[in-house]
Amino acid sequence: MTIAYPTVSPLKCGYLSPPASKFLADAPDGEKLTMPSMAFLIQHPASKSKIVFDLSIRKDLATHHPGLQAHLKTRIPLSSENDVKSALALGNVDTSDIDYVIITHVHWDHTGTPSDFGSATFIAGHNTGKLLRNEMGPDLYNPFFEADLLPADRTIELPPVPSSKKGEVFDKKHGWYWQSLSPISNAIDMFNDGTVYIVDSPGHIPGHLNALVRVAVDRWIYLAADACHHMRIFKGETDFGSWKDEQCRTITIHKDIPAAYRTLEVMRQLKRDGLNGVPVEVVLAHDGEWEREKADYFFPNHL
């Protein structure tokens, strides 16, 4: 029996230019990194399902919180001309054709315009709702979060990993349960056929998710979102950028630094050793060099 493997298509979306020192430990003051915020279309032929992984940057920036709009001025050059909706249209896919949207986390450059996807089921990590409602304590408070960002009646918030017994089904409709996929500690086999996994990837902010997709008998693709922001960090050439907060504490772009290092090491191991002998390509959401190298593979084409 021939397996019809899923396809992964990068989507041409927006760009932003944050201070390099926020990401790279050895970046000089004043340097900026102009980087993409990539989203992806995953098509699962066996179920005929279409999944959008992340929503990139919102096209209409004026609909953001006024404080966030002011913050965005520190990320110029910034482009929102292309968004997920326009990228899908390049292949004649309408947002109404999308079955699932995986929100890797709720930072503004990954949440786009959820209202464009009026019939999709949204998948978010544990505590995403509490995070959006600012119920996670002062260290995670963000005045720019939108409590109603995701549709309550169409959003599946995944259960916590530590209290979810391995193999215990938590979503009977989909048959979902947490399982180990060495070296990945916690993953969900989305279609119960070993081709698309939702991966718990802690460290960045609560609820951060990755995805692992088998696109061929001899190839996996790991979509890393914001588990790592630059390939120089991934390769071990530099460390996470850091700065002092108002209490003079050293902080990074990642809220749980030890967990972020553990997730990074899992990704490195997948890249180095593969998964059960099958090579794994790791793709970072903000990797501009990768975007340029893979320009011919963007939707309507695929990797």
DSSP track, 65-101: -HHHHHHHGGG-S-B-SS-HHHHHHTTT--GGG--EE
How far apart CA 247 and CA 107 sit, in angstroms, is 23
Q: What residue ranges define each of the domains in the chain, with the CATH number in brackets?
A: 7-297 (3.60.15.10)
CB 105 within 8 A of CB 125: yes
pLDDT average, residue stretch 189-198: 97
* Cis peptide bond prior to 151, omega within 30° of 0: no
| Percent of the chain clearing pLDDT 70 (strictly above) | 98
2-6, 54-58, 143-147: least confidently modelled range: 2-6
What are the tens digits of pLDDT across the range 72-110? 998 999 999 999 999 999 999 999 999 999 999 999 999
pLDDT for residue 162? 66
- The answer to whether residue 176 scores a pLDDT higher than 70 is yes
pLDDT average, residue stretch 12-39: 93
How far apart CA 126 and CA 103 sit, in angstroms, is 11
- The answer to whether residue 164 scores a pLDDT higher than 70 is no
- The answer to whether residue 36 scores a pLDDT higher than 90 is yes
Work out whether the CA dihedral 176, 178, 180, 186 comes out positive or negative.
Answer: positive
What strand order describes the sheet that includes 209-216? 179-181, 184-189, 196-200, 209-216, 219-223, 280-283
What are the tens digits of pLDDT across the range 231-254? 999 999 999 998 887 788 888 999
Q: How far apart are the first and last CA of the chain?
A: 23
Task: Let me know the angle formed at the C-alpha of 38 by 34 and 44, rounded to the nearest 5 degrees.
Answer: 165
pLDDT for residue 167? 76
* Cis peptide bond prior to 77, omega within 30° of 0: yes
The residues, ordered by sequence, that sit 6+ positions from 288 with a Cβ below 8 Å of its Cβ are 33, 34, 35, 36
